Chain A
Amino acid sequence: MISPEPANILRRRAHLPIVRLALDTLTTFQPTRYFKRWARRLCHEGFTHEDAKVIALGTFGVDEFQSQFGVDALVTGDLNLIRNYEQRLTSIQRRLRAMTAQLSEPFCYARLPVIITPAEAAERLAADVISPE
């Protein structure tokens, strides 16, 4: 999946074959009701706005067909994001649990994704071991 911002950037370049291929292959995730609240809380936890948006979309986002709520894994080359996420994981897991305990379906099922590098994603996909927290 990709978030709406890069999707817009790609759509402006859809005349390029490599971009068309990416757009055909990727699903644009859209935020659902609690995305903003969760993103704001992630900012309070010390994540940048950019990182908070991506994590919140992976937690409370939905695909275009509403067939998938949240994602198992976010793949990024941003090692600072991965390090920051790992350091704060226990704390944000606690905050998410406290938040989702108050929510109705499907929001009460929201789970944090894992955040991994492209190389790690390839290895996990090959071994079929990507799973939510």
Chain B
Amino acid sequence: MAMPDQPAFIGDRRARAAVQLLRRLTPPELQQVVALMPELRRLSAETDRRQSAADYWRRVLNEERGGYHPSLNDQFLIGLTYREYFALSETEQDDFWERMFAEEVWEIEDFEDVNVALLVKAAFAG
């Protein structure tokens, strides 16, 4: 199983000891370990999926920016840069979002219904 390149992942003493032990095993023995612990395969697949999703959105955003490499000094929202936003405490970040969403608060009665005649015909006409 491929191990992620994250120091924090192997920072734990027990994990590091397990990795040292696993590295002594032959490929067939490693395959046996994975067969005996199917959760290892699932964990690996899950990590791959999360990574590929993150890579996808990073690539799409990069295309949207026209190849421009973003900086922490770029504008984020409500007049703050990314750097200023990340410097906020958790409470301040909550306030930040509250302030932004307070820009649009509709009462239930303010919503306008859409006519779904087309939906009715398209979806339920057989």
A-to-B contact residues, CB < 8 Å: 4-6, 8-9, 12-13, 16-18, 20-21, 30-33, 35-36, 39-40, 43, 49-50, 52-53, 56, 62, 66-67, 69, 105-106, 122-123, 126
Contacts and interface: CB of A to CB of B under 8 A. Distances in A.
Q: Give the interface size class of chain B.
A: 20 to 34
Interface of A is mostly: helix
Contacts of B108: 36, 39-40, 43, 49, 52-53, 56
Interface string B84-126: 0000000000000000110111111101111010111011100
A87 to B, nearest CB: 22
A5 B64 contact: no
B119 A35 contact: no
A57 B101 CA distance: 17
A67 B119 CA distance: 7
A125 to B, nearest CB: 9
Given A21-B64, A36-B108, A122 B119 contact: no
Contacts of A32: 113-114, 116
